[in-house]
Amino acid sequence: MTGQPRHFLSIDDFDYAELRAMLTAASSLKSRLKQGDRPRPLVDKVLAMIFERQSTRTRVSFDVGMRQLGGETIMLSGQEMQLSREETLSDTAKVLSRYVDAIMTRILSHADLIELSDAASVPVINGLTRRAHPCQIMADLLTFEEHRGPIKGAKVAWVGDSNNVLHSWVNAAEVFECQLTIATPEEYSPEKDLMDDIRRAGDMVRLIQDPREAVEGADLVITDTWVSMGDVDIAERRRVLKPYQVNTSLMALADKNALFMHDLPAHRGDEVTDEVIDGPQSVVWDEAENRLHAQKAILCWAFGAEVN
C-alpha cells in the first residue's frame, strides 16, 4: 500500500458524504448478496483481527464479511500474542503491517488504538474501544433507514448508561442531523470526552435524566448493557440504572411506529424486557445482521475497492 492508510476509528473522523457513501455501498452489497451476487474485490487480501476482549457479532461478521469479499482473516487473541508479554502496540502494528493488508481490533483503551493505528502502515478498523463503537453505529443507521427512511430529522432516544455505543451515536447525530435525546442517571453521566462531543453536536443532542421525557414521541429507542466491558461496579450500576429499563410502558410513550434497537448482547430483565426485545417494534436481529453488510462496506472503503 502506498500513501497514508485509511483507518476507520471513530464516526467523527468522517464527513457526511464519506459515511453516506459507505451506507450506500452496504445497502448495495446486502441486496446483491440476497440475489446470490457476491462481488469479490478483496481476493488475496488478509485481515488480522486482534481481540483483547470477548465478541460474538464483531468477530463472526468481520470474518464472514472478509470471506464473502474474497479475502481471508487471521484471528488473534491479545492473550496469545507477545502483547501480553509487554511488546508494545506500535511495535506490534509495525510487524503486522509487514504481513497483512488490514487490521481490525477490539482494544478497550482508545489511546492504545490510536497508538496502534499511528504505527500501522495498513488500514486499522475499530471493532470497539471504551470510547467508541463506530461499526455498530453504521449498522444501526443502515437498519433505521431500511425500516423508516432517512435518519435526518428523526427523533432518537437513548436510555441508560453513557458508554461507547452512545458516544458513537452522538457523533452520528451530529453528522446525520438527527435529534438525539439521551436519558442517563447523574451517577453515570457522560465523561468529559463524551460531554465535549455532546456540546459540539449543539442542537442535535440533548442530555437529560428522565427516560420518559426522552422517549416521548421518539422514532427510535435505543439502549445497551448497563455493564460494559471494563466496568467493575456491577451491583451499583444495576441499582442506579434500574429506572432506565426499556419495558412496554416506556415504549408506549414513543411514537406508535417507533423502532427498538440494542447492539447486543442483551441482558434481558435488566436494560430491556423480553416483551420489548422480542416484540414487534424490535429490529435487533436486523441490526445484528447489518453489522455484516456495514462492515463489508467499511472494508471496501479501507481497501479503496469499488463495489457499486
- Give the binding site for ligand CP (CB under 6 A): 55-58, 128, 136, 263-265
In the chain, the N- to C-terminal Cα span, in Å, equals: 22
Shortest distance in whole angstroms from residue 263 CB to ligand NVA: 5
What ranges make up the beta strands (E) of 20-123?
46-51, 72-77, 102-106
Shortest distance in whole angstroms from residue 78 CB to ligand NVA: 16
Shortest distance in whole angstroms from residue 54 CB to ligand NVA: 9
Tell me which of ligand NVA, ligand CP, none is bound by residue 273, counting a contact when its beta carbon lies within the kind-specific cut-off of 5 to 8 angstroms: none
Could you list the residues known to form a binding site for carbamoyl phosphate, using ranges: 55-58, 82, 106, 133-136, 291
Shortest distance in whole angstroms from residue 248 CB to ligand NVA: 24
* 223 binds ligand NVA, rule: CB under 6 A: no
Handedness of CA 251, 161, 206, 132 (dihedral sign): negative
* 219 binds ligand NVA, rule: CB under 6 A: no
Tell me which of ligand CP, ligand NVA, none is bound by residue 224, counting a contact when its beta carbon lies within the kind-specific cut-off of 5 to 8 angstroms: ligand NVA
Separation between Cα atoms, residue 164 and residue 10, nearest integer Å: 10
Separation between Cα atoms, residue 184 and residue 20, nearest integer Å: 29
In three-state secondary structure terms, 92 is helix
Q: Determine the residue with CB nearest ligand NVA.
A: 228
| 102, 303 Cβ separation under 8 angstroms | yes
| 247, 277 Cβ separation under 8 angstroms | no
* 140 binds ligand NVA, rule: CB under 6 A: no
Interface with ligand NVA (CB under 6 A) = 128, 163-165, 224-225, 228-229, 263
